[in-house]
Amino acid sequence: MTNSIGELEKDAKCIFVIGSNTTENHPVIGMKIKKNVLYNGAKLIVADPRRIDLASIADVYMPHLPGSDVALFNAMMNVIISEGLADENFIAEHTEGYEAMAEVVKKYTPEYAEPITGVPAEKIRQAARIYAESDAAAICYAMGITQHRNGTDNVKSACNLAMLTGNIGRPGTGVDPLRGQNNVQGACDMGGLPTVFTAYQAVTNDAAREKFEKAWGVPLPGHAGTVLTEVINKAHHGDVRALYVLGENPMMSDPDLEHVEEALEKIDFVVVQDIFMSETARFADVVLPGASFAEKDGTFSNTERRVQRVRKAVSPPGQARSDWEIICDLATRMGYPMSYANSEEIFEELRTLTPSYAGMTYQRMEGGGLQWPCPTEVHPGTPFLHKDGNFSRGLGAFTAIDHIDPGEMPDQEYPIRLSTGRSLYHYHTGTMTRRASALNEHVPAAELEINAGQAAEMGIKDGELVKISTRRGSLKMKAKVTDKIARGVAFTTFHFTETPANVLTSAEFLDPVAKIPEYKVSAARIDKLSAEEMTG
């Protein structure tokens, strides 16, 4: 997030939520948004193919079709430019690339976007005006924006919209990705990416690499590594021989599970370090028992870049050990001694190599954590980035972006756009929440959300077992017939190992930059089952 969670509760005068079912996936942020809208008079714009909870209190709700985000953003910008609502001073002083962007946007009149997005032109106009005329407008998005073949374009479109109206660098403004995992921000900050060391220092940058070589006392590779989704592809071709999986579950979370399974089977040696025998761990040659968050010390970095303490409350079960201890032990056995007395010693080392974390200490984090960048020990941390429109790269760059269709468009055989995601009561691959007794009792199985009108035409009743198929595979699950989802769209969750939704999704269409799979659009078909099939 460029800005802070707290600003969504009071500073933002308008919040544009797109591709985020906030009240289910970031419930506490959802609460703050609702509070701002209902009690502080903030305006709310919601764009989502499902009529999510927030839509019920939105000033404008746009049920746009999955994969039409760029067209929607462009159409809003078209309105803003043509009605003279753009922040010309901000554009002139703080940005570049406006002309090229404006040129592309020119053709995206709301009427042009209407058939692409499925949103009536007038609603797009209303939304654009509310957003542009607000004193401080924030954009919140999540995987509904990023999990597309053009996810990077979607994010850049959000940035375009924010810059076009000068909604950046002030409290209550900004472009706020709501990150889905407790420490996904930290994993990125810490260099858990194939291209960068900590704090996004490029591995290809000689100075950066030299710094780390000096600190770590070994020569380091200077070419970028392979991203996760492509590691799986490479494994298929026999180019990946060993895989060490630390607390991940690609056999549930990755697209096209059959493809993943084949890949894992081809890899010579798989190590999985986890707290449970996950779907992935079953493919391991060696399984190492790690510790849960309650059993170790350390820090997590949340979606607003706040680094907070994690504290050990109980001992790990049996012989299980903290993940950092296991890594140290293994490194030492491989001839590279790693020895730390505790997690704080590791943090002390990493902050010397991580400029944005340099000023943080465990001691300083006691008072509610610190938000990076925090370069020195007297720096108070940074609640919002790009203060007064001063971008870290100098000028904010507009990008000219055209709409492209999803990789798989619906056709006669597969007429539905299937989208996947999470529900309030479960989390990601379900490894934890399926074992949380109350959560699993409350919601024990996946459902397939189908538009009520469409279900009626197909003769499908609420709660009836149906078959959902894509070109990759098919699943049977209960239909949830609802008017909260647009016609032509279906939705299910990927929490349940009994109905692993990622047998349906495609690994074929990746975002060219982020390599994110297109989870939010798979061409699918829904079949009513015969009485025999239902019982069987």
Partner 1 sequence: MITLTINGREVQTPRGSTILEACQRNGISIPTLCYDPDLRLAGSCRMCVVEVKGRPLYAASCVTPAESNMIIETDSEGIVAARKVILELLAARHHFNCQVCEKNANCTFQDYCYQYGIKESRYEYGHGAIYEITDPNPFLERDYNKCIMCTRCVRACEEITVARAINVKNRGHEAKISTAFDGNLADSPCVFCGQCVMVCPTGALTSRVSAGMGRSYEVDKVLTTCTYCGTGCTFELNVKDDRVVGVTSDRTIVGSPVNKGALCVKGRFGWDFIHANDRLTTPLIKENGEFREASWDEALDLVAQRLGEIKTEHGPDSMAMFTSARVTNEENYLAQKFTRAVLGTNNVDHCARL
C-alpha Rg value of the chain to the nearest Å: 24
Residue 76's φ and ψ, nearest 5 degrees, are: -60, -40
Q: Is 355 in the site for partner 1 (CB under 8 A)?
A: no
Between 273 and 499, name the residue whose CB sits nearer to partner 1: 273
Pick from 306, 421, 454, 445: nearest CA to 370: 306
Exactly one of 182, 361, 390, 474 binds partner 1 (CB under 8 A); which one?
182
Name the DSSP letter for residue 135. S
Q: Which is nearer to partner 1, 82 or 195 (CB)?
A: 195
* Residue closest to 313 by CA, chosen among 300, 325, 296: 296
463 binds partner 1 (CB under 8 A): no
Cβ atoms 486, 222 nearer than 8 A: no
CB 196 within 8 A of CB 203: yes
**Region of 87-95, 168-176, 347-355, 446-454 interacting with partner 1 (CB under 8 A):** 347-355
Determine, following the binding rule CB under 8 A, whether residue 192 of this chain makes contact with partner 1: yes
Q: Tell me the C-alpha distance between 296 and 316, whole Å.
A: 8
Q: Can you tell me whether residue 113 is helix, strand or coil? A: helix
> Which of 368, 453 has the CB closer to partner 1?
368
By CB under 8 A, is residue 478 in contact with partner 1?
Answer: no
Interacting positions 202-261 with partner 1 (CB under 8 A): 203, 212, 216-218, 220-221, 223-229, 231, 239-248, 250, 253-254
Q: Cβ of residue 251: shortest distance to partner 1, in angstroms?
A: 12
Binding mask 138-177 for partner 1 (x = CB under 8 A): --------xx------------------------------
- 301: contact with partner 1 by CB under 8 A: yes
Total residues belonging to the chain: 536
Asked if 339 touches partner 1 (CB under 8 A), the answer is no
Locate 26 and state its tokens: 């970031």
Give the three-class secondary structure for 421.
Answer: strand
Q: Of the two residues 165 and 492, which places its CB atom closer to partner 1 in the complex?
A: 492
Half-sphere exposure of 260 (CA within 13 A, CB side): 24
Quick check: bond before 373 cis, omega within 30?
yes
One of 172, 186, 389, 410 touching partner 1 (CB under 8 A): 186
Contacts of partner 1 in 378-437 (CB under 8 A): 424-427, 431-433, 435-437
φ, ψ at 144 (rounded to 5°):
-65, -20
Residues 64-123 that bind partner 1 (CB under 8 A): none
**Among positions 35, 236, 379, 487, the unique one binding partner 1 when judged by CB under 8 A:** 35
d(CA 17, CA 266): 42
* Least separation in angstroms between CB 443 and partner 1: 10
Is residue 512 a contact residue for partner 1 (CB under 8 A)?
no
Binding window for partner 1 (CB under 8 A); candidates: 69-77, 93-101, 178-186, 474-482: 178-186
Nearest to 364 by CA among 294, 324, 322, 306: 306
Q: Which of 92, 207, 334, 341 binds partner 1 (CB under 8 A)?
A: 334
Is-contact 181 103, C-beta < 8 A? no
Residue number, 41 or 318, with CB nearest to partner 1: 318
| Residues 250-289 as x/- pattern, contact with partner 1 by CB under 8 A | x--xx-------------xx-x--xxxx---x--xxxxxx
Q: Considering beta carbons, is residue 293 or 391 the nearer one to partner 1? A: 293
CB of 534 vs partner 1, minimal distance in Å = 26
Distance of alpha carbon 321 from the chain centroid: 29
Q: Which is nearer to partner 1, 89 or 204 (CB)?
A: 204
Q: Look at the block and give the residue holding tokens 């010693």.
A: 345
Angle between helices 121-133 and 110-117 (to 10 degrees): 110
- Cβ-count burial of 468 within 10 angstroms (0-12 exposed, 13-18 middle, 19+ buried)? buried
CA 68 – CA 403 distance, rounded (Å): 7
Is 473 a binder of partner 1 (CB under 8 A)? no
**Binds partner 1 by CB under 8 A, chosen from 111, 210, 336, 377:** 336
Q: How far is the CB of 425 from partner 1 (least distance, A)?
A: 6
Phi-psi label, residue 281: left if phi above 0, alpha if psi -120 to 50, beta otherwise: alpha
